[in-house]
Amino acid sequence: MVLVVGATGLLGTEICRRLTRRGEQVRALIRKTSSPEKVALLTECGAGLCVGDLKDTNSLADACRGVDAIISTASSTLSRQAGDSIESVDDQGQLNLVEAAKAAGVDRFVFVSFRHSANLTFPLADAKAHVENAIKALNFTTIQASWFMEIWLSPALGFDYANATARIYGSGTSPVSWVSFQDVAEMCVLTLRHPAAERRTIEVGGPEPLSPLEVVARFEQIGGRPFKIEQIPEEALRAQFEAATDSMQKSFAALMLGYSFGDSINSKPIQDEFGIELTSIDKYARRVLEAHPV
């Protein structure tokens, strides 16, 4: 049985869906306050439910009982729940989970992290590093994902493809290996039982590094209309980073700076090794533009 932590999130729900399709028994960790709609999606895909919280060590002991593997995607970054923070969830909460896994004899642990610039130190990166280090005592796989296209190339962060406007962080000329959350979910599922993924950190990006301005050009070509571009200078992003007063603000400012620096990965070796077909920007653009016709 596989325990999925962060199961009600975008990535976690997709992982549960893909695991059950492969015949895995899945236990999804949810909270009493989880959205009924998100819980219903987990039930529909065949996942079993377990109520618990990363901040509650007793509930984690119950959640880990009888499972042989854990996949954790949990993060406070998109949470609106009271008491959630980078310190309580991404750092100590995940460390609580690692300790619960050890105590329950759960050896296999897949952890979703992210790639970030070594030039920046910020709370979310520190938390991820703490967990990456802690799971080395287990049969671990760390998935270090590049920038999720469904997040960073979405209206929520200023890339409004429906209205042909795009907010660009920095110069917009540094290539990024934009990756689909669906492909990261697939990598979690593929690596879970794959011997070559054991005790290993795997970097996962999309098939083609493109700068933000190149992404805009692809959307313009596929959608057949020009975009209006708003650029946030790197100096403004750095000033926001320096002025941030709490860990969440600091981390989001750092992530925007990291976007401006770029993040290019050669994904072909991973594609060849694990047999995964990665989603291109063109495919993503066609999908979202068809869903939002002019």
pLDDT tens-digit map of 229-281: 999 999 999 999 999 999 999 999 999 999 999 999 999 999 999 999 999 99
Spatial separation of the C-alpha atoms in residues 276 and 31, rounded to whole Å: 32
Q: In the prediction, which pLDDT does 81 show?
A: 78
CA–chain centroid gap for 201, Å, is 15
Average pLDDT, the chain: 96
Spatial separation of the C-alpha atoms in residues 60 and 74, rounded to whole Å: 13
pLDDT in tens, 46-103: 999 999 999 999 999 999 999 999 999 999 987 767 789 999 999 999 999 999 999 9
The residues pairing with 201 across neighbouring beta strands, listed in sequence order, are: 142
**Overall pTM surpassing 0.75 (yes/no):** yes
Q: In the prediction, which pLDDT does 96 show?
A: 98
The residues pairing with 148 across neighbouring beta strands, listed in sequence order, are: 179
Q: Distances from the Cα of 132 to the Cαs of 79, 90, 119, in angstroms? A: 21, 11, 19
Q: Quickly count: other Cβ atoms within 10 Å of residue 207's Cβ.
A: 20
CA–chain centroid gap for 197, Å, is 18
Number of helices (H), then strands (E), belonging to the chain: the values are 12, 10
Residue with tokens 């020009």: 226
pLDDT in tens, 125-151: 999 999 999 999 999 999 999 999 999
